[in-house]
């Protein structure tokens, strides 16, 4: 096995994670279908690179990501890695055709179910039990309430207390919330005894809003931070024609900023992707950055970018690009 990424504590309850984690939405056919063998090869490549933190969710491929990840990790010693999944959505039989951003394979059970929000205490427990079955494991290290954007009151009144009870009973090691926005996460950090948050797309070279408010509050409260979406859905890896920003077209003003960022990196002979990945890792409360990959080659690129030496004066130059 090659030397892997460094590790860091995630919160204060003994969960240790590698500084680079594998985000498993792509192996759930996010936007583009891959086969089972490619999914397994992706997880195997992450393992060989030393990655020991894996993040998935029932939403990803409507269960496909969890099932593929569980099969790929089967046979590996359970104490050797940290496993995170999410709660708050149950997969239930679809009433008709399933519309999804995931390419659901015909004939697979993923194409017959749809995610349904359920933030009740019973729903949280059912979500956990069903994820464990799909993953083929007896426990999660981390469980995150997933995207409660339109359900803040129920999250505070029912879902998060249920997660805290599961943690206090020893069923979960750490609990938190995962979202694409930082504002609600910040309110949760101030009101709930969370161990961590996962913030996606808001601690990046292009969108630094979490850096300025949420991260300092997490540091003060001793709440761990996992960052996803560091490439803002691709524009910070390949900013050419067809690039996407936060899963949509790239606005002209964003394209202009990306061009300035890319020019600064080129002068320093640093890949833009390396600067984008390491941006979040520089912040004090960030324990791990998730990289989404759908192939062994993408894993290799991400791991290589994590080890590129970035001159300090380049960070100063990138900081000035706003």
Average pLDDT over residues 284-299: 96
Is 60 among the catalytic positions?
Answer: yes
pLDDT higher for 106 or 128? 128
pLDDT of res. 1: 28
103 token code pair: 């390419």
pLDDT of res. 242: 85
Find, among 191, 220, 225, the residue nearest to 210 by Cα.
Answer: 225
- Look over the chain and give the mean of its residue pLDDT values, rounded to a whole number: 95
pTM for the full model?
0.96
Q: Which of 60, 81, 245, 247 is the catalytic position? A: 60
Helix (H, G, I), strand (E, B) or coil at 308: coil
Domain 7-249+273-310 CATH assignment equals 3.20.20.100 = yes
pLDDT higher for 200 or 97? 200
pLDDT tens string 35-93: 999 999 999 999 999 999 999 999 999 999 999 999 999 999 999 999 999 999 999 99
Rounded to a whole number, what is the distance in angstroms from the first to the last CA of the chain?
Answer: 40
Q: Tell me how far CA of residue 7 lies from CA of 82, 96, 268, 308, in angstroms.
A: 11, 45, 28, 17
pLDDT higher than 50, residue 3? no
pLDDT higher than 50, residue 2? no
């Amino acid at each position: 096995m090659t030397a892997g990424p460094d590790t860091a504590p995630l919160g204060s309850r003994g969960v240790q994670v590698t500084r680079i984690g594998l985000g498993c939405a792509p192996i759930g056919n996010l936007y583009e279908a891959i086969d089972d063998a490619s999914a397994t090869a992706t997880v195997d490549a992450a393992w060989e690179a030393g990655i020991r933190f894996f993040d998935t969710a029932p939403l990803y491929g409507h269960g496909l990501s969890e099932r593929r990840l569980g099969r790929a990790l089967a046979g590996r010693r359970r104490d050797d890695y940290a496993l995170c999944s999410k709660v708050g959505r149950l997969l239930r039989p679809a009433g008709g055709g399933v519309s999804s951003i995931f390419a659901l394979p015909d004939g697979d059970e993923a194409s017959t179910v749809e995610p349904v929000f359920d933030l009740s205490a019973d729903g949280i427990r059912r979500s956990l039990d069903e994820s464990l079955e799909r993953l083929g494991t007896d426990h999660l290290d981390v469980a995150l309430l997933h995207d409660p954007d339109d359900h803040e009151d129920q999250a505070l009144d029912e879902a998060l207390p249920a997660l805290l009870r599961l943690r206090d009973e020893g069923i979960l090691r750490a609990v938190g919330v995962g979202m694409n926005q930082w504002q609600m996460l910040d309110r949760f950090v101030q009101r709930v005894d969370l161990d961590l948050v996962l913030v996606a797309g808001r601690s990046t070279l292009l969108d630094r809003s979490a850096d300025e408010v949420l991260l300092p509050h997490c540091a003060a409260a001793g709440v761990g931070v996992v960052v996803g979406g560091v490439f803002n859905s691709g524009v910070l890896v390949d900013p050419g024609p067809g690039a996407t920003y936060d899963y949509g077209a790239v606005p002209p003003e964003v394209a202009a900023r990306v061009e300035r960022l890319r020019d600064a990196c080129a002068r320093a002979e640093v890949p833009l992707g390396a600067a984008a990945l390491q941006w979040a890792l520089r912040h004090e409360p960030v324990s791990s950055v998730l990289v989404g990959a759908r192939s062994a080659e993408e894993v290799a690129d991400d791991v290589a970018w994590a080890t590129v030496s970035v001159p300090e004066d380049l960070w100063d130059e990138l900081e000035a690009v706003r």
